[in-house]
């Protein structure tokens, strides 16, 4: 799953923060080559960063946990004795969560959770199989309760430390899209008030379940898969910071989206082209996300068999730049807005100048009654000479939203 044991990393992330456009490969190969030698990964899924900035990776295809001290990345170590069902073996270990004393591992195809001491010894099995079908990620809350997103039975289970059976805390055991249902829940995040956030994978949404609730509330996505910033496409993981901002691994769109509380759309922060690839500004089927103590974001980039780091750039508040948008054909009834709330309406003109947040998203929406086609050139007017940011040709359709990320 996700997160870091030291929650202060999330406390320090400003709502105005942004991250490097290009990532660096922490482990695995930058070109996406899989393998089993030290330094390689194969179908890596969940990641976790502990309070000492040690990265734990569920190297599922290699049936092992890879341990990488971020302050000494050459000292890679391995937990597990390879494929099998013995106590020290794994069969597709997809999720990992680390507390002060233990390492919890979701041993997916053995249908069990393994708990190891923090030093990688003394494994024991937590009996979860009679109550769940297939789970891939796990979460441990501040009371040492264990949470599993059970994709097979479309529910989230909570196992208390001394209980012999779990409590269903989200979903009703039947796949569906109503407020009381989930459809293959995967990543789970639990905040200090025991509110459960669920990556409702096949419903293309994030659901929020208050403690003891019998139904959830959709807090990200609209339930329809798509690539607009109002939509998600098979999300696998979610992390929530102390300000209520959600960081969502939008797996089907190959991007990471940040979603503010009570917002009806998100902002892309990493891999915003949405195109699957192995370049440093791309992801391919990302699965998991974690923060280090400095606020940098690490992505379990499963399709590329690697973990990518995107460095934390800014935490000081909003800065603005000025852009010009030039349209080669006269357009009418166009609304241009940006993520700082600036909004300009174009009416029978070919040029608009707008101040926007640095690293912002610009939105263009037509309220005209007929489609319009125009080449759009966007330039930075804050630099001299002005720098062309992008040029596209688009048919501006009625009530269709176009977004451009900076």
Give 268 or 317, the one with higher predicted confidence.
Answer: 268
Per-residue pLDDT band for 175 (boundaries 50, 70, 90) equals very high
Question: Is 157 in the same domain as 299?
Answer: yes
| 238 close to 189: Cβ distance less than 8 angstroms | yes
Mean pLDDT of 366-374: 49
Give 242 or 41, the one with higher predicted confidence.
Answer: 41
CATH number for position 141? 2.120.10.30
With respect to residue 97, please indicate whether it lies within any of the assigned structural domains.
Answer: yes
**CA distance linking residue 340 with residue 363, whole number of Å:** 11
Tokens linked to 230: 């109002």
For residue 368, report the phi and psi dihedrals to the nearest 5 degrees.
Answer: -70, 165
| 218 close to 31: Cβ distance less than 8 angstroms | no
Question: Is 269 in the same domain as 361?
Answer: no
Per-residue pLDDT band for 370 (boundaries 50, 70, 90) equals low
With respect to residue 308, please indicate whether it lies within any of the assigned structural domains.
Answer: yes
Question: Is 208 in the same domain as 304?
Answer: yes
Contacts 24+ apart (CB under 8 A), 260-267: 260/15, 261/219, 264/222, 264/230, 265/228, 265/229, 265/230, 266/220, 266/229, 266/230, 267/229, 267/339, 267/361
Q: Domain ends where: 294, 313, 332? A: 313
pLDDT of the residue at 387: 38
pLDDT of the residue at 344: 43
Is the pLDDT assigned to residue 378 strictly greater than 70?
A: no
Looking at every residue in the chain, the average pLDDT score rounds to: 82
Domain membership of residue 330 as a residue range: 320-405
With respect to residue 202, please indicate whether it lies within any of the assigned structural domains.
Answer: yes
Mean pLDDT of 164-191: 96
For 10-24, 38-52, 248-262, which range has the lowest pLDDT when averaged over its residues? 10-24
pLDDT of the residue at 162: 82
With respect to residue 287, please indicate whether it lies within any of the assigned structural domains.
Answer: yes
Is the pLDDT assigned to residue 59 strictly greater than 60?
A: yes
Question: Is 147 in the same domain as 225?
Answer: yes
Tokens linked to 373: 């086609």
With respect to residue 3, please indicate whether it lies within any of the assigned structural domains.
Answer: no
Say how many domains are in the chain: 2
pLDDT of the residue at 11: 60
Is the pLDDT assigned to residue 297 strictly greater than 60?
A: yes
Mean pLDDT of 59-68: 98
pLDDT of the residue at 313: 83
Mean pLDDT of 123-142: 94
Q: Domain ends where: 295, 313, 331? A: 313
Question: Is 154 in the same domain as 77?
Answer: yes
Question: Is 285 in the same domain as 325?
Answer: no
Q: Domain ends where: 267, 295, 313? A: 313
Give 132 or 350, the one with higher predicted confidence.
Answer: 132
Question: Is 149 in the same domain as 47?
Answer: yes
Question: Is 374 in the same domain as 271?
Answer: no
**CA distance linking residue 314 with residue 292, whole number of Å:** 15
Question: Is 299 in the same domain as 353?
Answer: no
| 43 close to 305: Cβ distance less than 8 angstroms | yes
Question: Is 175 in the same domain as 65?
Answer: yes
With respect to residue 1, please indicate whether it lies within any of the assigned structural domains.
Answer: no
Reduced to 3 states, what is the DSSP secondary structure of residue 61?
Answer: helix
With respect to residue 2, please indicate whether it lies within any of the assigned structural domains.
Answer: no
Among 229, 230, 200, which Cα is nearest to 216's?
Answer: 200
Among 240, 275, 230, 280, which Cα is nearest to 4's?
Answer: 240
Q: What percent of the chain has pLDDT over 90?
A: 67
Question: Is 161 in the same domain as 270?
Answer: yes
pLDDT of the residue at 10: 63
With respect to residue 125, please indicate whether it lies within any of the assigned structural domains.
Answer: yes
Question: Is 205 in the same domain as 327?
Answer: no
Per-residue pLDDT band for 13 (boundaries 50, 70, 90) equals confident
Cα-based distances in Å from 64 to 37, 56, 67, 107, 281: 12, 10, 10, 10, 28
Reduced to 3 states, what is the DSSP secondary structure of residue 84?
Answer: coil
Per-residue model confidence as pLDDT tens digits over 69-101: 999 888 999 999 999 999 999 999 999 999 999
Per-residue model confidence as pLDDT tens digits over 14-24: 777 788 889 99
For residue 62, report the phi and psi dihedrals to the nearest 5 degrees.
Answer: -100, 5
Per-residue pLDDT band for 119 (boundaries 50, 70, 90) equals very high
Contacts of 31 (CB under 8 A, 6+ apart): 278
Contacts of 34 (CB under 8 A, 6+ apart): 40, 41, 42, 43, 61, 305
């Amino acid at each position: 799953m996700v997160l870091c044991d030291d929650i202060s990393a999330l406390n320090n992330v400003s709502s105005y923060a942004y991250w490097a456009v290009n990532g660096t490969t922490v482990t695995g190969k930058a070109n996406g080559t899989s393998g089993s030698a030290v330094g390689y990964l194969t179908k890596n899924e969940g990641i976790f960063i502990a309070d000492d900035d040690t990265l734990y990776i569920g190297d599922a295809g290699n049936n092992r946990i890879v341990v990488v001290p971020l302050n000494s990345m050459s000292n890679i170590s391995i937990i597990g004795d390879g494929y099998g069902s013995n106590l020290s073996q794994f069969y597709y270990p997809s999720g990992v969560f680390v507390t002060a004393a233990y390492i919890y591992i979701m041993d997916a195809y053995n249908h069990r959770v393994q708990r190891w001491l923090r030093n990688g010894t003394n494994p024991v099995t937590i009996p979860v199989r009679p109550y769940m079908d297939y789970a891939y990620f796990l979460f441990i809350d501040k009371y040492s309760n264990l949470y599993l997103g059970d994709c097979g039975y479309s529910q989230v289970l909570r196992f208390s430390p001394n209980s012999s059976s779990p409590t269903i805390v989200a979903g009703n055991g039947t796949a569906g899209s109503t407020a009381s249902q989930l459809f293959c829940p995967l990543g789970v995040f639990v905040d200090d008030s025991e509110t459960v956030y669920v990556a409702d994978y096949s419903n293309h949404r994030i659901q929020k379940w208050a403690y003891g609730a019998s139904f959830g509330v959709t807090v990200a996505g609209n339930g329809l898969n798509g690539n607009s910033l109002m939509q998600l496409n098979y999300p696998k993981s979610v992390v929530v910071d102390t300000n209520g901002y959600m960081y969502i691994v939008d797996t089907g769109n190959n991007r990471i989206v940040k979603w503010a509380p009570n917002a009806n759309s998100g902002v892309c922060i990493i891999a915003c082209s949405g195109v699957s690839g192995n370049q440093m500004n791309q992801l391919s089927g990302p699965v998991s996300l974690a923060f280090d103590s400095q606020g940098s974001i690490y992505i379990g980039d499963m399709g590329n068999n690697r973990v990518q780091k995107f460095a934390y750039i800014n935490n000081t508040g909003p800065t603005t730049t000025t852009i010009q948008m030039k349209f080669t054909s006269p357009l009418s009834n166009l609304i241009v807005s940006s993520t700082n709330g600036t909004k300009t309406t174009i009416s029978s003109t070919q040029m608009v100048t707008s101040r926007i947040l640095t690293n912002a998203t610009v939105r263009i929406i037509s309220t005209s009654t007929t489609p319009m086609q125009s080449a759009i050139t966007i330039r930075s007017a804050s630099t001299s000479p002005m720098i062309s940011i992008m040029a596209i040709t688009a048919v501006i359709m009625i009530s269709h939203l176009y977004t451009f990320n900076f």
